[in-house]
Structure 1
Amino acid sequence: MTGTGEYAGEFVRLEVADGVATLRLDRPKMNAISFQVQAELQAAAAEATASPEIRAVVVYGGERLLAAGNDVKEMAALSYPEMIERSAGVQAAITAIAQIPKPTVAAVTGYALGGGCELTLAADLRFASPRAVFGQPEVLLGIIPGAGGTQRLARLVGPSRAKDIILTGRFVDAEEALAIGLADRVVEDPYAEALAWAQQFTKGAPYALRAAKEAVDRGLATDLATGLEIERQQFAAVFATEDARTGMRSFVENGPGKATFEGR
């Protein structure tokens, strides 16, 4: 990894402009998530994490769709022992996106199915077009979601709604996705909206943003008392940053929202 924000795989690349990285899937014609794409997602996530030039990330699959799912032809050829060896990597690719310690948003223009839906679940927010379609249709193939769908979807929309979506394999349109919390906004141009949302963090305090995201994510994985302890530790830790001193001094002297953070 270069730490400069530069990454270009065959099917996944980072495009950085003004502090915001677009993590772009581009595997014609349906952005099927193959094992190679999974490896490239991990590499792109590592670069987005390492680069101080990147303050926020937009996950995007182009004007037509995010991703129509994992590469079924590739998976169909595997035996049980072979999938045992591969399954950790299937999850690791999506987990790498979830663990980017910066604000992330998925821009969903069309289909986000199977592994594509799981990829959106790894982002902090999901902005969808009115034509977006979400789903975890794996049961219709005789398998189940394997890259976090059973876990992240249940945590996002609740277990009963997640079971309905996963057990039936049905599609969820943008209107329903918004109603149940699977989508956060429905707009005509989700990519432009996602870029605008991400842009606000280029002037933010990166260590505070990182601490806040980690406190939420780690806290959700445990009980309330442990979550509160995670929050307490993260709260105290940001007082070691120059940005905390800058931000609080600016608030006292000039009021809220006027601090200039240096990322230190």
Structure 2
Amino acid sequence: MAVRTSDTVALRFTDGVAVVTLNRPERLNAVVPALVDDLLARLAEVAGSDAGAVVLTGAGRAFCAGYDLKEPPAGGDSRRRIERLQQVTRRIRELPQPVIAAVHGYAIGAGAEFALGCDLVLAAEDAQFAFPEAGLGLSVTGGISRLLPLLVGPLKAKELLLLGERVDAAEAARLGLVNAVVPDARETALRWARAIAQKPAYAVTLAKRALDAGIDSALDAALELEVAHALITDTAAEVAESAERFRTRRAE
């Protein structure tokens, strides 16, 4: 078993499977620019490896709790930062190996987007999904404007985005957000990944490419539109105000 660890993302190889772990458990794996950079770097390593499948999961009590609003506002080039985030979805979908999201605890905002960008999604019984962006004055990213309606239908997708209510694991399965609800998402994801890794790699890649061909032909346009929308919301006063309230809110 080979292990690579950065400050925010860990990578290990075992039984022909690459396990990529978001590794900010003290912050429920909330997204900061360093995590995005590390995740892209680890996925690039996976692409060049002989792993037959990939598991994406989170350390600690959650998969990923979304953007870390307790961090100071990111400076620098907003377009570059947003496009860097969009690249996570692109890289996951460009990998020759299928990627299985093993979701436990929170998969909120960007966390839900990471999960739904994967090829398969397994949810632990305590998993919760939500898209709170509209309530925070933000816009969705990660290609979710294209992927979510495909999974749940356009009307339900609008409900999830506009109301921002949390969806538990059982409801996520009923809606088609996840493949299955299981007691241990990581263990089941590893079992599924090992089974996939035992199949001829070229056949697995071709199956993934064939199924994604129709979806991804429109995904790039969705990702670009999301960047345009995110740039608009990035400078909105309401975003700064809601983030400041969150940063100064007394911990429960």
Q: Distance in 1 between matches of 2:11 and 2:93?
A: 16
1:150 is aligned, of 145, 156, 171, to 145
Q: Is structure 2 residue 97 aligned with structure 1 residue 106?
A: no
Q: Distance between the aligned counterparts of 1:161 and 1:215, measured in 2?
A: 26
Q: 1:127 aligns with which of 107, 122, 127?
A: 122
- Which secondary structure does the structure 2 equivalent of 1:37 belong to? helix
Q: Which residue identity does 1:157 align to in structure 2?
A: V
Give secondary structure in 1 for the equivalent of 2:12.
Answer: strand
TM-score where L is the length of structure 1: 0.77
Q: Which amino acid aligns with 1:44?
A: R
| 1:1-264 → structure 2 map (5 Å cutoff) | 7-29=4-26, 30-52=28-50, 54-74=51-71, 76-78=73-75, 82-222=77-217
Relative to structure 1, is the Cα distance of residues 218 and 6 closer, same or farther in structure 2, using a 3 angstrom cutoff? farther
Whether the 8 Å contact between 1:39 and 1:93 is mirrored in structure 2 is no
How far did residue 8 of structure 1 move?
Answer: 2.5
In structure 2, the gaps of 5 or more residues are 219-252
Look up the equivalent residue of 2:57 and give its one-letter code: Y
Given that 1:12 and 1:37 are in contact with CA atoms closer than 8 Å, whether structure 2 keeps it comes out as: yes
In structure 1, distance between residues paired with 2:49 and 2:55: 15
Q: Which amino acid aligns with 2:176?
A: G
Instruction: Map Cα deviations across residues 226-260 of structure 1 (whole Å, 9 max, x no partner).
Output: xxxxxxxxxxxxxxxxxxxxxxxxxxxxxxxxxxx
**CA–CA distance in structure 2, aligned partners of residues 202 and 25 of structure 1:** 22
Structure 1 runs of 4+ off > 4 angstroms? none
- SS at 2:202's partner residue? helix
Task: Write the distance in 1 (CA, Å) between the matches of 2:2 and 2:146.
Answer: 30
C-alpha distance after superposition, 1:198-232 (max 9, x if no partner): 11122211011111101111222459xxxxxxxxx
Count, aligned residues: 217
Contact 2:105 2:127 (8 Å CA) reproduced:
yes
Rounded to whole Å, the distance in 2 between the matches of 1:97 and 1:11 is 18
- With over 3 angstroms needed to count, the CA separation of the structure-2 counterparts of 1:219 and 1:90, relative to structure 1, is same
Task: Indicate how the Cα distance of structure 1 residues 85 and 220 shifts in structure 2: closer, same or farther if over 3 A, else same.
Answer: closer
Matched position secondary structure for 1:160: helix
Task: Please list every run of 5 or more consecutive structure 1 residues that lacks an aligned counterpart in the other structure.
Answer: 224-264
* 8 Å CA contact 2:53, 2:193 repeated in 1: yes
8 Å Cα contact 2:25/2:61 also seen in 1: no
Specify the structure having the higher radius of gyration (Cα).
1
Q: Is the 8 A contact 1:66 1:116 kept in 2?
A: yes
Confirm or deny: 8 A CA contact 2:54 2:98 kept in the other structure.
yes
Q: Deviations over 1:36-72 (max 9, x none)?
A: 11111111111111101x1111111035210000222
